[in-house]
Amino acid sequence: MKRIFRKSWGAELVEGGTRFRLWAPGQDQVRLRIGAQDHPMHAEGDGWFELMVPEAGAGTNYAFVLMDGQVVPDPAARAQAGDVHGPSRVTDPCAFDWSPWEGRPWEEAVILEIHVGTFTPEGTFRAAMEKLPHLVETGITAVEIMPVAQFAGNRGWGYDGVLPYTPHPAYGTPDDMKAFIDAAHRHGLMVLLDVVYNHFGPEGNYLHAYAPDFFDPDRQTPWGAAIAYQREPVRRYFIENALYWIEEFHLDGLRLDAVDHVRDPKSEREILVEIAQRIREANPGRHIHLTTEDNRNITRLHERDGDGRIKLYSGEWNDDFHNVAHVIATGESEGYYADFTGDHWGKLGRALAEGFIWQGEHSVHADAPRGEPSAHLPPTAFVDFLQNHDQTGNRAFGERLLALSSAPMVRALMTIHLLSPHIPLMFMGEEWGEVRPFAFFTDFHGDLAEAVREGRRREFAAFGEFQNESLRAMIPDPNALSTFEASRIDWDRANGEEGRDWLAFTRHLLQVRAQRIVPHLAGAPGHGGRVIHADEGLIAVDWQLDGAVLRMRANLTDHPQDAPAASGEILAGPPLDAPLPPFTVTCLLEAAA
């Protein structure tokens, strides 16, 4: 089976050669460079330049030459000949044969977030393929890949990408990425991709040189120039990118990064809405799963229709759950954790029962109201996590939760996390109790490297433990190779005694989830969660699911506590006829209309 998506931008193999197309409204003329020869491109109007080259085929290297002689890569290239500054390369999407795959429904999702470069010692898609049986045996059903859009240098998190259509070559070729996705499908695993539509990275973005109208001069994001989504070519660039990944790479879904900075107030149809609608219209009958990261705690992108079906986005990354769980586990209270210190037991109960904690109340950290009511959404509208790339890597030293809290507390929180009816996400290695850090790393050079290094250290200057300049100097240099290498997960730990014990624990919970809880999630209603008790370290929450009530009783203290009564078959934990032991969770399931 062949898969190809025809883009408006860039190089497309067509009958009789290759069509090259670039939107360059800041240029009166553009030339196409192939080898040592330049070919004038035809101005098509509205800033578009196009040229058909019969002799250009797969493997042809090309670039665009601007009026001042500057040579730039194709911003919609499927592949580069080298780094982000050099020529692009024509590729043939039809060279790859896909296996049949129908996908899996959203309620079955148990997501493992991975960074390809640190997931294996080799850091490639091909090496990651060898680890897929481990994921299946663990109970993972979906792999979420951190961004792969090509960025400057060889190593980085991927959020500084500048070529959104180009898989980062350090991880392998486009066909290597396709082979990984196809192999995952053959193992029954969904594959999701993190995409960044809110900014471009600081090195290798040449759009300013020939398409200044691509950007909004009146707005900046925390990471660079804001984007003018209301302009039709710009809009098409991102919508087609989303369709490209879903259709040409046969992905099961996308996670859209920081959509609170994808602002499109001037368009009749907001671009976030149009992206979801276009994907669903183009893929009727496929299980497509779209999620968002958005610190506003809004719900309009995740509403269901009258029959409970997903209209736009399947779920929202729920930072509120992580933040309150982290405060409980570690006692930390600086930065945004300040909003989760008071009544943290009640806040954990609310996160479990209703999704968001902040639903319009005044946030101390933001000094403004935050969020909207969320209890009406089904539990599967929330993607919960105890660890992810952000919450681990944006710490000064990238510590994992086990380095910050006790093993009994972490196990209790993992039980809550994996057996709640929300969609669970784990970070690579978490399934075996990984303790290696995941730090922030880049591969910049010169002044940019120095700016990133010092900016990273200034970022933590407001935290009490880093008031001393000498302590800030101990924060790992993001550009050092050692910082990247120290962030690779430790597969040897997975095979050690402690790792095997953690894996058995994780596998048991995910087996219980798959067999007993997932069958009741597809039709789980909104307003189904209810906090029974949430105080003094004792949490009791019930959820009305589809045909069953799930009951959870958790003691997150170091002493026994009497839990509220609960009926049903015990899925995990001890009976409730005696005080609940320290750091223990009991879950029960009772058939109900």
CA distance 471 to 456: 13
Q: Please provide the CATH number assigned to the domain covering 528-591.
A: 2.60.40.1180
State residue 505 phi and psi, 5-degree precision: -60, -50
**Predicted structure pTM score:** 0.97
pLDDT tens track for 279-308: 999 999 999 999 999 999 999 999 999 999
pLDDT greater than 80 at residue 386: yes
Q: Which two tokens stand for residue 131?
A: 């680890």
CA distance 567 to 481: 55
Q: Which of 107, 176, 274, 293 is catalytic?
A: 293
pLDDT tens track for 34-62: 999 999 999 999 999 999 999 999 999 99
Task: Calculate mean pLDDT across residues 374-403.
Answer: 96
Cβ neighbourhood burial of 285 (10 Å; 0-12, 13-18, 19+): exposed
Catalytic residue status for 257: yes
Q: Write down the residue that tokens 């294996």 correspond to.
A: 120
State residue 270 phi and psi, 5-degree precision: -55, 140
pLDDT at site 70: 98
**Beta carbons within 8 Å of 50's beta carbon, 6+ residues apart:** 19, 20, 21, 22, 41, 42, 44
CA distance 408 to 385: 17
pLDDT greater than 90 at residue 466: no
pLDDT greater than 70 at residue 452: yes
- Measured from the Cβ of residue 567, the count of other Cβ atoms closer than 10 Å reads 9
Q: What is the mean pLDDT of the chain?
A: 96
What is the domain partition of the chain in residue ranges?
10-95, 528-591
Catalytic residue status for 218: no
Q: Which of 248, 257, 274, 430 is catalytic?
A: 257
Q: How does residue 593 score in pLDDT terms, banded at 50, 70 and 90?
A: low
pLDDT greater than 80 at residue 124: yes
In this chain, the answer to whether the domains covering 10-95 and 528-591 adopt an identical fold is yes
pLDDT greater than 90 at residue 464: no
Task: Calculate mean pLDDT across residues 127-150.
Answer: 98
Q: Which residues of 451-464 are buried (b: 16+ CB within 10 A; e: fewer)?
A: ebbeebbeebeeee
pLDDT at site 539: 98
Q: Please provide the CATH number assigned to the domain covering 10-95.
A: 2.60.40.10
